[in-house]
């Protein structure tokens, strides 16, 4: 899965690029995170254009390499986890080996397209929950994640 970023506007030293950088910086500082060079580069890729997206650590790493951002894959993983801990991203696990990071942090369902490994937002009316799930004694419901797996119809 490739992170689709308008590379030309990311590399251009114009007003749009400054807007992206400001948006990324405000996103980080609003959550109490220090805007380091590496965090800013990744934040700009994630939220610089103001659009929601779903990325894997690998797709974000590839996008960072495309703009010559000096980050390692381990740094990308650690940064994504820090962004999740700060409430900036939600991690959506689609199976035991693959996680996506969602810039849209409200509770909402997802479609997972099995053929191409794409995760997209599903409309809220794609799922109907009747009441809150029953949780064991001593536990509190943190959130409900719904991933609807799809295949193309023949």
Q: What per-residue confidence (pLDDT) applies to 4? A: 55
Rounded to the nearest integer, the mean pLDDT of the chain is 89
Q: What is the DSSP letter of 69?
A: -
Residue 131 — pLDDT band, cuts 50, 70, 90? confident
Q: How far apart are CA 146 and CA 122, in angstroms?
A: 9
Interacting residues of 45 by C-beta distance below 8 A, sequence separation 6+: 3, 5, 10, 60, 63, 64, 67, 69
Tell me the pLDDT band of 97, cut-offs 50, 70 and 90.
confident
* Section 64-69 average pLDDT: 93
Element (H, E) at 91: strand 90-95
Single pTM value for the model? 0.85
What is the structure's pLDDT at 10? 47
In this prediction, residue 8 carries a pLDDT of 47
Predicted confidence band at 58 (pLDDT cuts at 50, 70, 90)? very high
Whole-number pLDDT of residue 5: 53
Query: Where does 10-87 show beta strands of DSSP type E?
Result: 54-55
Tracing tokens 């986890």 back to the chain, one arrives at 81
CATH of domain 7-100: 1.10.10.10
Q: What is the pLDDT of residues 12-22, one digit of tens each?
A: 445 688 899 99
Select from 51, 17, 72 the least CA-distant residue to 25: 17
Is pLDDT above 90 for 9?
A: no
- What pLDDT does 118 receive? 93
Q: Which two tokens stand for residue 5?
A: 């970023």
pLDDT grade, residue 59 (50/70/90)? very high
From CA 102, how far away is CA 80, in angstroms rounded? 10
pLDDT at 11 over 60: no
Residues 106, 124: Cα–Cα separation, whole Å = 11
């Amino acid at each position: 899965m490739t992170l689709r970023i308008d590379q030309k506007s990311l590399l251009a030293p114009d007003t749009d690029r400054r807007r992206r950088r400001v948006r990324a910086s405000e996103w980080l500082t609003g959550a109490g995170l220090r805007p380091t060079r590496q965090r800013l580069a990744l934040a700009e890729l994630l939220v610089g254009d103001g659009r929601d997206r779903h990325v894997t650590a690998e797709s974000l790493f590839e996008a960072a390499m495309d703009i010559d951002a000096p980050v390692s894959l381990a740094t990308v993983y650690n940064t994504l986890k820090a962004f999740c801990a700060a409430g900036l991203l939600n991690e959506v696990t689609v199976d035991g080996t693959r996680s996506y990071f969602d810039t849209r942090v409200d509770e909402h369902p997802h479609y997972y397209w099995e053929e191409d490994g794409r995760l997209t937002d599903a409309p809220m009316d794609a799922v109907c929950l009747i009441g809150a799930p029953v949780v064991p004694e001593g536990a509190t419901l943190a959130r409900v994640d719904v991933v609807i797996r799809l295949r193309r119809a023949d």
